[in-house]
Amino acid sequence: MHETAMKNGEYFFKTYAKYIDNSTVAKVVEIGSQDVNGSLRAVCPTNFKYIGMDFQQARGVDVVLDDPYKLPLDDASVDIVVSSSCFEHSEMFWLVFLEVMRVLKSDGLFYLNAPSAGSFHQYPVDCWRFYPDSGKALITWAKRNGFNSALLESYTQIGGSCYQDFVSVFIKNKDFAEKYPQRILDEKIDFENGQIYNGSSIIKPSYYSQNEIKLTEIQKIIND
């Protein structure tokens, strides 16, 4: 796990975990939990029950999935689902997204971090990159399948890894959105193309990736 992926996961738990009902032990499920140079388990509150799931046995994996598109969990049984640097490797990530919505409680959250740029890297395949409107598209897909979901916030990371993390936070049922009054973007500054639930416009819009900007700067130096 690259540095910004870990840091953004830490921002998520810091911002949202305090609003989770502590009358029972909160359940957190990670999809794609193989510990490759680090795991989000390290930044999850220690009083939460953390379950790592992946399609093969490895460090950080508690449950090996027989089918990557079916989670062995009851409906509405999980408080938080997280996935970092995984959806780009899922051939049909939209099916995984529906499974996440199914297993979340009505006020449950899904934290997604996936690259918007970066090199080809197979684990075992590398299929997708996510742009600023990808989170909104997933909400459209959720609604088409009967879920009343909402995108609480999304943004693209500036600096750090070449992968330029696309980060998004979803809630299963938007009727519970007011339970979470804070956003990562309330404090974060190193981002672009930010969007917030019920916001009217993109925050710090940029039409060029950081890689494109750097390439343009290099070409300008060469030409000068």
Give residue-wise pLDDT tens across range 152-200: 999 999 987 788 999 999 999 999 999 999 999 999 999 999 999 999 8
Contact 185, 155 (CB under 8 A): yes
Is 53's pLDDT higher than 80?
A: yes
Digit-coded pLDDT (tens) for 68-114:
999 999 999 999 999 999 999 999 999 999 999 999 999 999 999 99
pLDDT for 105: 98
Task: Please tell me the predicted confidence (pLDDT) of residue 222.
Answer: 83
What integer pLDDT is reported at residue 1 of this predicted model?
Answer: 80
State the Cα–Cα distance between residues 213 and 48, nearest whole angstrom: 41
pLDDT in tens, 25-44: 999 999 999 998 889 999 99
Rounded to an integer, the average pLDDT of 128-141 is 97
Is the pLDDT score of 216 beyond 90?
A: no
Answer yes or no: is pLDDT of 138 > 80. Answer: yes
Partners of 114 in beta bridges: 166
Q: What is the mean pLDDT of residues 142-150?
A: 98
Q: Facing residues of 203 across strands?
A: 194
Instruction: Write down the H helix ranges in the chain.
Output: 3-16, 93-103, 134-144, 210-223
Q: Is the full-model pTM beyond 0.85?
A: yes
Long-range contacts of 48-51 (CB under 8 A, 24+ apart): 48/17, 48/20, 48/79, 48/80, 49/25, 51/27
Distance CA 158, CA 61 (A): 30
What pLDDT does residue 203 have? 97
Domains of the chain as residue ranges with CATH = 3-223 (3.40.50.150)
